[in-house]
Structure 1
Amino acid sequence: MRALLNLFKRFSIITVVPRNGFSNSSFLCASISSSTSSPRPVELIQSKTTNQIALSISSALQKCTNLSSVKKAHAKTFAFGLQHDKHLSIKIAILYVSFDKVDTANIVFESTPNPSSCFWNNMIRGYATEGQFGRSLGLYNKMLQEGLIPDKFAFPFALKSCAGLSNLQLGKLVHQHLLCCGCTDDLFVNAALLDMYAKCGDVEIARLVFDKMAVRDLVCWTSMISGYAHNGYNSETLEFFNLMRGSGVKPNRVSLLSVLLACGSLGALRKGEWFHNYAIQTGFANDILVVTAVMDMYAKCGSLDLARGLFNEAAGKDVVCWSSMIACYGIHGDGRKAIDLFDAMLEAGVSPNHVTFTCVLSACGHSGLLEEGRRYFKLMKEVFRIAPKLNHFSCMVDLLGRAGQLDEAKNLIENMPVKPDATIWGSLLGACRIYGNLYLAERVADVLFHLDPLQSGYHVLLSNIYAAKGRWNKVEMVRNLMARIGANKIQGFSLIELNDRVHRFSAGDRSHPQSDGILSKLEELAAKMKRLGYVPLTDFALHDIEEEGKEEALSYHSERLAIAFGLINTNPGTAIRVTKNLRICGDCHNAIKFISKIVKRIIIVRDMHRFHHFEDGACSCRDYW
């Protein structure tokens, strides 16, 4: 225990709640006396012993249904000198916690000499439940200092607090402690342990915990599914959902939200439609959170019309639902409709929040609506009194940068009231790439390499800018730097759904069973494209292959392989939907316009930033991305 206690002391995130932080109980006594008339102790004492009075107050506490009645009962403990009675104190504290008065409960706790383990557990639980995770862990730490051994009632809430703080190191310490205390067979402890690892991003250990559990309830299954979904394990999310159903456990709202998120990330429209129908059949048709998740899924799978249709039919649309639909228009590059929807939201009497403005500003950025973006940024601050957060500044920097206003974007960053993060500087570096501003790019990259040195994307962006300028010695320098510090390049891949299965391709991939047919189709298309006037943009042969992670020819980028696979496996006229994890390169963007004209099909590509709808030789982004 001493070793664990010393480890806990190393973490400044924990605030130890002081014992007896208020002198005597004067503050508490004053706070509750105003809520009740003074009792007449002399009359009661004449007819009752101290034990009888304690029993009477205890009985009254059991009947408390509101905060006022708790305060009245609490006041009586002071009147009869029972404020230090451990039995009464813990009952009073538990009631205060139940009425969201955990700080008042803590005053009772601090005033109680040598509180029992049960009292400690309830206070740890109270702070964790209220979201004061640092204070919850502070009490857990103090409990160790007092020489008390936590039990199965303390561990779940200590782990909940670690999850709330996303502090994996502390979570592992609590895990070690519960192993020492022999609490590994308790369902609630294991469920909290599983949830902590999943929320802290260590899904592999979460799965090990899950597999070792003798009994698994809905909470355990849901934590595992949610953990997979929110950490990008999308295929595993869907597989685990099916395992849960096969085990006879009925999915709940959280598990449905998770699989819908996974379908959207995979671009798996058919699977998403199945889960939509499943949600209707299982009674979630009118659940606005589920409806919003289905909308988001359809939009991310390229079916914006289905998303809007669902939005129109939804009853009780809240700010989350409105904001989500605005975001859907934004990623599809339809900023005007996003703005129109924002105005309709105001007319409907729904007040926007900070997320709504992030969605609107992002939509303006994707559509090049510079003046509109400036107007909404001002509206947010001056009319709705919402202080801009990092996300809002990031959207504005992106908007200004895409519009070529690099100096204004730089000035905005330098005069922000909050410290800019790597995402904001990264937006400016991306703009430098678009407009070929090497001077500014080098200075921005220098900042980024200090803020997030292992993020390979920033190194690749700078390398691309050097390559476009023919500065090959500088390209080599950036490559060497990446190798030296271990900034590994992200491998590009593209996904396409066919017959309820998601197929994955990477650049130059020849491992697919239909590889010969795919390559043959690409060669056929290349010949037809050339006759129509297609000329490869060889500027992208170096730097976007860097993003793909392989030294392969432009014509075998992952999105082209996925498109060719879709063309040879679907009927003429069928839309092709592809999801890519990186930004689509300029040459592929140009080539797919030609392909859409040749095959007379709609080709929808979602990259890491937005959607591109290709039809008859044109793209919905109007080459602005």
Structure 2
Amino acid sequence: MISTLSVANRIQDFVRDGNINDARQLLDQNHKSCDTVAWNSMITGYITHNQMQCAHKLFDQMPVRDVVSWNTMMSGFNKTKDPHKLYQLFLQMNRAGETPNQFTFSTAISGFLNAFDVLVPQLHGLILRLGLHSNVFVGSALMRGYTHLADRESLQRVFDDVVVKDVSTWNALLVGYMELGLTDEAETIFDNMPEVNIISSTTLVNGYIINSKIDQARSIFDDMLQKNVVTWTAMIKGYTQYDNCIEAIQVFILMLKSGVCPNHFTLSTVLDACARCSTFHLGNQLHSCILKKGLHCEVVLLTALIDMYTKCGDIEAGFCVFESMEKKNTVSWNSVIGGCARHGLAKRALCEFEKMIESGFKPDHVTYINLLSACVHGGLVKEGERHFNSMGERYGIKPEMKHYSCMVDLYGKSGELEKAEKLVKEMPFEPDVGVWGALLSACGLHSCYEPANALENLAHDHPTIYSMLVKLHSEKGEWSRAIEMRKKMIEIGARQQKAGSRLDLV
């Protein structure tokens, strides 16, 4: 038998070194010498190594639990994004007579945000009863909760209740106001903060980007005396998501010149920018950079690399990267299936989908958009119908607008206009301009103009339809109607989109 302190210390050492099996063996051999600290350390080890079932089983076997035991298990369920088990454990903790502390509440609120939003005010009441409302951790967590509920008054009230506010408390208020779209108020808060750190400035930059104020974000960004990799990545991502990809790449170049080393999030964002503006040579150079940095095992980064290669026209390079991946996720499979669809490789897309299922991955709505798009490019009506119908039956995925748009496009291009019209009429929601556009394109392709006449009333709400109607009436020889449609376009200020091209000479 080993002393209680010695057992706890040795278990902690084993866990710290990643020797989970040795730690568990020591625990099993010294049950009588193990205190709660030793049990908690073992549970922490299991959670750290993503073995939640083992952690939960051991937790249930504990002879005595303290508040740390409960908090550790709750943090585990929060880590694995399992709000239902987190909720059950929180109830079990209260029924067992254990009083929650500030870490309990901060973990619970964080874990409940996407599943049990309504519990935030109830937890707030319990926090007030226990006198924890002035705690910094609890206050920050509650502020995140009320931001999620879009409750500005409660957000401000929680902030006021925190007696000793640190910079993280002010940052939480700043995040809240930005996420609620109150940019002017957020800027006032930033100006009045007694202490500002790099997180505060990055939060302001991010907030302006979220609220589509990219110029203000850049102004704050340029004024920052210090920038870390998170700040640079936020600015690059902001430009990318608003399709100003050239500016995003220029900011990335400035980042390299400043001496800040990009991480895998930065590189994946820049690869996204390269994919959007077809900057193949830079994307290829980033591939070399990824290999040199030893980041060839980063799933998110390699998925972005696949997306870049397929969108820039080198599908074979995309396949090579995909085949080299030691680990894949659903997004990785979606990228390669989408790449096949863009390059007209319908049969290959269907084959990759079958491999995805055989590998044990569950498809999502993006998978089916890519799969149906491949069927459209390949004219595979039967296969498209089969997969469209299997979405709900096999995987419980409800078809969304883009899925219907793909099917209308598939029927339309195959000359089955009656099926296309029938599908549009049977849709569980009002068709958008994409669905109508697919139907109109089919009408023009097969010189069938009857369905198009019924869409003129929708054109005012969807100006893009006017452009399609002008083309259809012109093809039909109805020049007066085509001129009428063009006049209506001018009246509502709609303009026909001009084609363009770009040549990368780097």
TM-score, normalised on structure 2? 0.74
Paired AA for residue 134 in structure 2: S
Paired AA for residue 503 in structure 2: I
Paired AA for residue 292 in structure 2: Q
Whether contact under 8 Å (2:143, 2:155) holds in the other structure is no
Residues 68-83 of structure 1 aligned to structure 2 (within 5 Å): none
Residue 316 of structure 1 pairs with residue 323 of structure 2:
no
1:226 paired residue number: 237
Q: Supply the distance in 1 between the matched residues of 2:437 and 2:156 (Cα, whole angstroms).
A: 44
Q: Supply the distance in 2 between the matched residues of 1:192 and 1:368 (Cα, whole angstroms).
A: 48
Residue 148 of structure 1 pairs with residue 160 of structure 2:
yes
1:82-128 CA-partner distances (Å, limit 9, x unpaired): x7xxxx75454124346658766653321315833744432123x38
1:494 paired residue number: 501
Q: Supply the distance in 2 between the matched residues of 1:94 and 1:431 (Cα, whole angstroms).
A: 55
1:124 paired residue number: 143
Whether contact under 8 Å (1:160, 1:192) holds in the other structure is yes
Could you tell me which of 463, 469, 474 is aligned with 2:470? 463
Identity of aligned residues (%): 26
The alignment partner of 2:428 has SS state of coil
Residues 91-490 of structure 1 aligned to structure 2 (within 5 Å): 91-97=103-109, 106-111=121-126, 112=128, 115-116=133-134, 118=136, 119-125=138-144, 127=145, 134-135=148-149, 137-138=150-151, 140-144=152-156, 148=160, 152-154=167-169, 156-157=171-172, 160=175, 170-179=181-190, 181-182=192-193, 185-450=196-461, 452-453=462-463, 457-490=464-497
- Deviation, 1:470, is 2.6
Paired AA for residue 491 in structure 1: K
Q: Supply the distance in 1 between the matched residues of 2:407 and 2:448 (Cα, whole angstroms).
A: 19
1:536-586 CA-partner distances (Å, limit 9, x unpaired): xxxxxxxxxxxxxxxxxxxxxxxxxxxxxxxxxxxxxxxxxxxxxxxxxxx
The CA RMSD over aligned residues, in Å, is 3.4
Gaps of 5+ in 2: 1-59, 75-85
Paired AA for residue 134 in structure 1: H
Deviates more, 1:226-235 or 1:429-438: 429-438
Residues 436-585 of structure 1 aligned to structure 2 (within 5 Å): 436-450=447-461, 452-453=462-463, 457-498=464-505, 500=506
Q: Supply the distance in 1 between the matched residues of 2:110 and 2:102 (Cα, whole angstroms).
A: 12
Judging changes above 3 Å, is the alpha-carbon distance between structure 1 residues 161 and 389 closer, same or farther for their aligned structure 2 residues? farther
Q: Supply the distance in 2 between the matched residues of 1:406 and 1:486 (Cα, whole angstroms).
A: 31
Paired AA for residue 123 in structure 2: V
Whether contact under 8 Å (1:198, 1:206) holds in the other structure is yes
Q: Supply the distance in 2 between the matched residues of 1:91 and 1:328 (Cα, whole angstroms).
A: 45
The alignment partner of 1:419 has SS state of coil
Judging changes above 3 Å, is the alpha-carbon distance between structure 1 residues 172 and 95 closer, same or farther for their aligned structure 2 residues? closer
Judging changes above 3 Å, is the alpha-carbon distance between structure 1 residues 179 and 371 closer, same or farther for their aligned structure 2 residues? same
- Deviation, 1:430, is 2.2
Q: Supply the distance in 1 between the matched residues of 2:502 and 2:135 (Cα, whole angstroms).
A: 53
Judging changes above 3 Å, is the alpha-carbon distance between structure 1 residues 74 and 345 closer, same or farther for their aligned structure 2 residues? closer
Residues 32-47 of structure 1 aligned to structure 2 (within 5 Å): none
Whether contact under 8 Å (1:74, 1:92) holds in the other structure is no
Q: Supply the distance in 1 between the matched residues of 2:386 and 2:261 (Cα, whole angstroms).
A: 48
- Deviation, 1:263, is 1.4
Gaps of 5+ in 1: 1-34, 40-56, 501-625
Q: Supply the distance in 2 between the matched residues of 1:146 and 1:96 (Cα, whole angstroms).
A: 17
**Higher helix fraction (1 or 2):** 2
**Higher strand fraction (1 or 2):** 1
Whether contact under 8 Å (1:335, 1:363) holds in the other structure is yes
Deviates more, 1:216-225 or 1:375-384: 375-384
1:459-518 CA-partner distances (Å, limit 9, x unpaired): 2212111222233333332232222222233332201112x1xxxxxxxxxxxxxxxxxx
Paired AA for residue 154 in structure 2: K
Judging changes above 3 Å, is the alpha-carbon distance between structure 1 residues 122 and 146 closer, same or farther for their aligned structure 2 residues? closer
Judging changes above 3 Å, is the alpha-carbon distance between structure 1 residues 307 and 183 closer, same or farther for their aligned structure 2 residues? farther
Q: How many residues align?
A: 424
The alignment partner of 1:497 has SS state of coil
Q: Supply the distance in 2 between the matched residues of 1:375 and 1:286 (Cα, whole angstroms).
A: 35
Judging changes above 3 Å, is the alpha-carbon distance between structure 1 residues 158 and 494 closer, same or farther for their aligned structure 2 residues? farther
Deviates more, 1:108-117 or 1:471-480: 108-117
1:535 paired residue number: none
Structure with more contact order per residue of length (Cα contacts < 8 Å, sep ≥ 6) = 1
Paired AA for residue 495 in structure 1: R
Paired AA for residue 121 in structure 1: S
Q: Supply the distance in 2 between the matched residues of 1:147 and 1:330 (Cα, whole angstroms).
A: 51
- Deviation, 1:184, is 8.8
Paired AA for residue 124 in structure 2: F
Whether contact under 8 Å (1:422, 1:448) holds in the other structure is no
2:46 paired residue number: none
Q: Supply the distance in 1 between the matched residues of 2:420 and 2:177 (Cα, whole angstroms).
A: 38
TM-score, normalised on structure 1? 0.61
Judging changes above 3 Å, is the alpha-carbon distance between structure 1 residues 350 and 420 closer, same or farther for their aligned structure 2 residues? same
1:392-449 CA-partner distances (Å, limit 9, x unpaired): 1121111112222223222212211233322222222222232233332232343243
Q: Supply the distance in 1 between the matched residues of 2:494 and 2:214 (Cα, whole angstroms).
A: 23
Whether contact under 8 Å (2:142, 2:158) holds in the other structure is no
Paired AA for residue 123 in structure 1: L
Paired AA for residue 122 in structure 1: A
Whether contact under 8 Å (2:174, 2:190) holds in the other structure is no
- Deviation, 1:183, is 6.7
Q: Supply the distance in 2 between the matched residues of 1:314 and 1:377 (Cα, whole angstroms).
A: 29
- Deviation, 1:72, is 8.2
Whether contact under 8 Å (1:89, 1:109) holds in the other structure is no
Paired AA for residue 479 in structure 1: R
Whether contact under 8 Å (2:346, 2:374) holds in the other structure is yes
The alignment partner of 1:494 has SS state of coil
Paired AA for residue 443 in structure 1: A
Deviates more, 1:240-249 or 1:210-219: 210-219
Q: Supply the distance in 2 between the matched residues of 1:488 and 1:205 (Cα, whole angstroms).
A: 29
- Deviation, 1:363, is 0.5
Paired AA for residue 208 in structure 1: S
Q: Supply the distance in 1 between the matched residues of 2:177 and 2:456 (Cα, whole angstroms).
A: 34
Judging changes above 3 Å, is the alpha-carbon distance between structure 1 residues 163 and 408 closer, same or farther for their aligned structure 2 residues? farther
- Larger-Rg structure: 1
Q: Supply the distance in 1 between the matched residues of 2:240 and 2:158 (Cα, whole angstroms).
A: 40
